[in-house]
Structure 1
């Protein structure tokens, strides 16, 4: 392999060129899961900012959030919330505030998460084929009905924290996934989103969601092998309490995932406590066991965590962060099955008097260093080309895409990143390669391999 330095305005013919521009696509998603919004309002929760009462959706939009994440259960007969009627109410509020919507299908009558994926009671005794048909119909019909009322979401999750086999049981959550069955169900849900998008002319982006970064790579490798490939976004939950990986390791995982799969990667759930004290009799889920060194349980610590995490995600090539559930505060009249009040009031972004604690605006309006869009290009001299380099985070050679008389590879890198890159083309078993090093700048430019 030959080593060369990139130079500006090089004039010699080159095997490899690199173009760099400020990334415009995909959008950066800064979102909030406020699925409890209607329940909190009905329970009498009061939210204040600057001394004035505020609407949750409008408050977060004003603070800088651009997406509201809303969950939907199939038939939650134990609550009047997170059913289709409640979801419509939430989406109307989100769109009225000027926010996009991520609709999160749990495919359960209750919470689906990394430890359980319990089938809706109406589907529990169906065959796998009939469950797939039911899942398709529920997803498709829900989206079409939402569109009729002007409420089509821009993004859709096919499942929530689907670490285990979906539409299953508590027992199956402890078993190895039966991927023939799992893939059939996932692909039914994905197809339902795609079909509804085609029929309405408003195609949502599809997200698949895994809890905790250490579970994502083996899951997506198995899903790909089983034929689950038609998705746009990989969503990760990251809570230090439940994850075995540090923030730095989260960034490394995101970097590998986004180079391995043709999908954007983001953290779709995270949170951090601003205090470890309790405002009610319901135990806090995030306590001392959730703290990370350097991030105390204070409003300032909460803000620093969110800013640092978001910059880490963006610098790793990810496309955003969502906070779960920043407005689930404690109220006197409501509670959960686990106690009166809220399990999350110490991890909201409002203090115990309902005043915003500054975290939302500090996080959402921070001046982040955005990644730059980088395109590697090499002349097509063979039927295939691959690219490798230290920026690929150990993923290994990646195939380049044929475009006209060239092969290209597009990615996003943090400004100032120094990379060593090699390309290889193959023809009749003969390999030819070129290698370059470069530093990614912040302004649009084109650099070519020198003589």
Structure 2
């Protein structure tokens, strides 16, 4: 009964996508090492005037990344991000309709997809994992059913459109749990978090039984130094049916700084847990300047001395990082929001981009040298 109630809640969210026609696009081939880019913001950037160029000539950003070696597009999915309408002239972003558009563009460019379920209406990260408004106040059993049915419904909708992702992230940067407060780790109790995560995992596995594309499951923790503690507790609580350990690695917040230490840590995680390891978020600045009045999250002053905040420094850092991940036996790397260039885009904190100095495009939208590291 609980599962049917949860399913009814989903119908309104998915109805707007039901009239989409199935896309007939060849499946992307799976490389041994995955070079990915998170392009969740691209539709919004373009709608607000952002342009992408190769040597001054405007081009489709998805094609640009594919031609420079990217094999995969990562895209975030928020449950019901109504708040984005107020900032974008009534248009919603990072909902299912927007995600479908992104996946279709990725497929047309010949790339695979990593679908990142945030299980929230807004940003999820180690500090905040807000339960979707539609699920507020639900007891744990019904919340678990909601997670299961929502995950399954989204994947089934994508299947109808011929847009099944090759990878699915069940949660985003879940260091301290998921869907607070019920799924938050408290007093070292990981059981509720684990049961909610397993509901999403079960949905992906059940979907795979009837799908020719069987998505590989990624679970995600931020920063390498947190991985062992997190995995120890999560696996002990019963989360074991996943394929890839996804890591965020941002040099500014990492305690694992040298390239050798990165290789050693990835190798140790692989050996201990017998799973593939992938860096699913990373970035590095190419300049200390700012394209707009929106303060940047990472400044040029944060850069390492051996990798200055310059186009050349960014290129050396990213190519060295790719080599370090490969050396440690990692499965791949995904660059976070390399196309979040400055535009009229507005979010909760400003207009433009707080990431314009960490993109793989300069302030005129031209490709930077570091993009060549994607095929490195």
TM class, shorter-chain normalised? Answer: 0.7 to 0.9
- For residues 126 and 281 of structure 2, the distance between their equivalents in structure 1, rounded to whole angstroms, comes to 12
Residue pairs, 1:235-250, within 5 angstroms:
235-247=246-258, 248-250=260-262
- For residues 202 and 56 of structure 2, the distance between their equivalents in structure 1, rounded to whole angstroms, comes to 47
Structure 2: gaps spanning 5 or more residues: 1-29, 85-91
Does 2:353 align with 1:364? Answer: no
Partner of 1:393: none
Residue pairs, 1:95-114, within 5 angstroms:
95-114=107-126
Q: CA deviation at 1:289?
A: 4.9
RMSD, aligned α-carbons = 1.7
Instruction: String of CA shifts for 1:386-423, please: whole Å, max 9, x gaps.
Output: xxxxxxxxxxxxxxxxxxxxxxxxxxxxxxxxxxxxxx
Partner of 1:53: 58
SS of 1:346's equivalent?
Answer: coil
Does 2:221 align with 1:210? Answer: yes
Instruction: Write out the 4+ residue segments of structure 1 that deviate beyond 3 Å after TM superposition.
Output: 171-177
SS of 2:169's equivalent?
Answer: strand
Alpha-carbon spacing, 1:264–1:364, altered in 2? closer, same or farther (3 Å): same
Q: Is the 8 A contact 2:36 2:333 kept in 1?
A: yes
Q: Is the 8 A contact 1:232 1:262 kept in 2?
A: no
Residue pairs, 1:304-323, within 5 angstroms:
304-323=316-335
Moved more, 195-204 or 137-146: 195-204
Partner of 1:200: 211
Q: Is the 8 A contact 1:29 1:321 kept in 2?
A: yes
Moved more, 201-210 or 281-290: 281-290
SS of 2:250's equivalent?
Answer: coil
Structure 1: gaps spanning 5 or more residues: 1-24, 367-451
Q: Is the 8 A contact 2:288 2:301 kept in 1?
A: no
Partner of 1:350: 361
Name the structure with the higher strand share. Answer: 1
Q: CA deviation at 1:116?
A: 1.3
Partner of 1:132: 144
TM-score if structure 1 supplies the norm length? 0.73
Residue pairs, 1:358-437, within 5 angstroms:
358-361=369-372, 363-366=373-376
- For residues 59 and 242 of structure 2, the distance between their equivalents in structure 1, rounded to whole angstroms, comes to 36
Does 2:257 align with 1:252? Answer: no
Does 2:68 align with 1:63? Answer: yes
Partner of 2:8: none
SS of 1:118's equivalent?
Answer: coil
- For residues 230 and 176 of structure 1, the distance between their equivalents in structure 2, rounded to whole angstroms, comes to 25
Q: CA deviation at 1:198?
A: 1.0
Instruction: String of CA shifts for 1:155-190, please: whole Å, max 9, x gaps.
Output: 000000010121114x98684453111111111100
Partner of 2:49: 44
Residue pairs, 1:7-156, within 5 angstroms:
27-79=32-84, 80-156=92-168
Q: CA deviation at 1:251?
A: 2.1
Partner of 2:241: 230
Q: Is the 8 A contact 1:165 1:177 kept in 2?
A: no
- For residues 176 and 160 of structure 1, the distance between their equivalents in structure 2, rounded to whole angstroms, comes to 22
Alpha-carbon spacing, 1:172–1:134, altered in 2? closer, same or farther (3 Å): closer
Does 2:200 align with 1:189? Answer: yes
Alpha-carbon spacing, 1:151–1:133, altered in 2? closer, same or farther (3 Å): same
Q: CA deviation at 1:64?
A: 0.5
Task: Give the count of matched residue pairs.
Answer: 340
Moved more, 345-354 or 175-184: 175-184
Instruction: String of CA shifts for 1:197-242, please: whole Å, max 9, x gaps.
Output: 1122321000001000111111111111111000000010001111
Instruction: String of CA shifts for 1:44-92, please: whole Å, max 9, x gaps.
Output: 1111102211111111001100000000000111111000000000000
Name the structure with the higher helix share. Answer: 2
